[in-house]
Each structure stands twice: as structure tokens, then as C-alpha cells.
Amino acid sequence: MNWGIAQELRRKAFHLTILFVIVLYTVIERSVSRQVALFTLVFVLLILLAMEYLRLELNIDIPFVERLIRAKEHRRMNGAIYFLSATIIVIAVLDFKIALAALLMTTFGDLSASLVGQQFGKTYIFKNKTVKGCLGELVINLIVGFIILQNIYIILAMAITATVVETFVNELEDNLFVPLFAGFVGQLIFFLI
């Protein structure tokens, strides 16, 4: 399947559902409890896992899922599973603002890297990752950091970590790696200062 800008935008729009997940978590956490909010996210993850079971184990086509996944995901779990898993982990373990920054860097950094790289990238760094895509991602990650966080060291470390991980992870799942690594680095620096 040839991924043009329109298909990539549609796929990336699906990534923006993480904003809904964060709002859902926040509303439930504030109105009921943190445990119920995390339990709700695990329930959503179980629904997605059940859909993946139908798709991968029973070979049942789920049309809206098939339109959103990349060719390499047709015979393996899609990125939403990994991203929601990472979301649950970082929200459960990290300071909420650090978790939020890591998740938004994953969402918007990946989006900008992909769109800038496809549109303007000519010089490749690693496999299909371009210099301009990488720089576009770093800029967006820094903007996200400055909006969410106050500490310049945490912002720089998380933005650079998210960009490096996104750039050099190709076969493995960046939707899992980026928020976990960026969030871990941010929380580590928070503990150290």
C-alpha cells in the first residue's frame, strides 16, 4: 500500500484519539478515583485486544481498522495497542505532567516527523527517517514540552529522547518506545533535581 499524505493524515488523526483517552482518564480520575480511571483505560485496552484477536487470529476483517493500519501491521498488532499500553503505564507510574508531555510528544512529534519528512525530507538519517522530519519533530516536541512543563532540563531531555527514539526505532513499535523512554528520562531528571 502506498502511503500518501492523505492516508498518513487519516492514520495520524487516529493517533489523536489519545487526547480523548487523556480527557476520559482525567474526568474519571477527578470524579471517581485514580484506580477506576486506570481500570477504565485497561477496559478500553481489552476491547482493542479483542478486536485484534478477531482480526489476527480469526481473520475477520474489521473495515475501519484495516483503513488505519500500515502494511507492516496487517499481520501483527497495530500501534494503538502499544500506544494505549504505554499510556496506561506512564499515567500509572509517572508524574501526570511528565506522562502527559511524553504522550503528546509521541502524538504530535510523530505526526510532524511523518508529514515534514514526507513533504520536505530528502536526506535520510536512518532507513526511512529524514533530517527535516527529525528536526520538525524536535521542534514540536520542544513546543509540547514548553506548554506542559516548566523545567528546561526536563523539557530538553524529553524532547531530545522522544526525537532520537522516534528516529531510530523502525521495526519495533515507536508508540510504545517513545512515551516510555521520554517519560522515564523526564521523571528521572525530575527526581534528580
Q: What is the pLDDT of residue 101?
A: 98
Average pLDDT, the chain: 89
What is the rounded CA–CA span in Å between residue 68 and residue 71? 10
pLDDT band at 10 (very low <50, low <70, confident <90, very high): low
Which neighbouring-strand residues pair with 126?
129
Extract long-range pairs of 83-87: CB within 8 Å, 24+ residues apart: 83/15, 83/18, 83/175, 83/176, 83/179, 84/21, 84/41, 84/44, 84/45, 84/48, 85/45, 85/176, 86/175, 86/176, 86/178, 86/179, 86/180, 87/18, 87/21, 87/22, 87/41, 87/179
Is residue 103 pLDDT above 70, yes or no?
yes
Lowest pLDDT segment from 1-15, 22-36, 66-80, 101-115: 1-15
What is the rounded CA–CA span in Å between residue 62 and residue 152? 44
Which has more pLDDT, 189 or 110? 189
Is residue 12 pLDDT above 80, yes or no?
no
Extract long-range pairs of 117-125: CB within 8 Å, 24+ residues apart: 118/5, 118/8, 119/5, 125/167
What proportion of the chain, given as a percentage, has pLDDT over 90? 63
Q: What is the pLDDT of residue 2?
A: 44
pTM reported for the whole predicted model: 0.87
Q: What is the mean pLDDT of residues 24-49?
A: 97
* Dihedral sign from CA coordinates of 13, 11, 102, 75: positive
Q: What is the mean pLDDT of residues 63-91?
A: 80
Q: What is the pLDDT of residue 8?
A: 61
Q: Give residue-wise pLDDT tens across range 149-172.
A: 999 999 999 999 999 999 998 888
Q: What is the pLDDT of residue 3?
A: 47
Grid coordinates representing 31 are 470524579
**Domain boundaries along the sequence of the chain:** 5-192
Q: What is the pLDDT of residue 125?
A: 82
- 127 phi and psi angles, rounded to 5 deg: 50, -115
Q: What is the pLDDT of residue 176?
A: 95
Q: What is the mean pLDDT of residues 175-181?
A: 96
Place of cell 528536526: 135
Q: Give residue-wise pLDDT tens across range 115-132.
A: 888 888 788 887 888 999
- Highest-confidence range of 4-13, 144-153, 168-177, by mean pLDDT? 144-153
What is the rounded CA–CA span in Å between residue 104 and residue 89? 15
Nearest alpha-carbon partner for 69 in 54, 81, 57 = 81
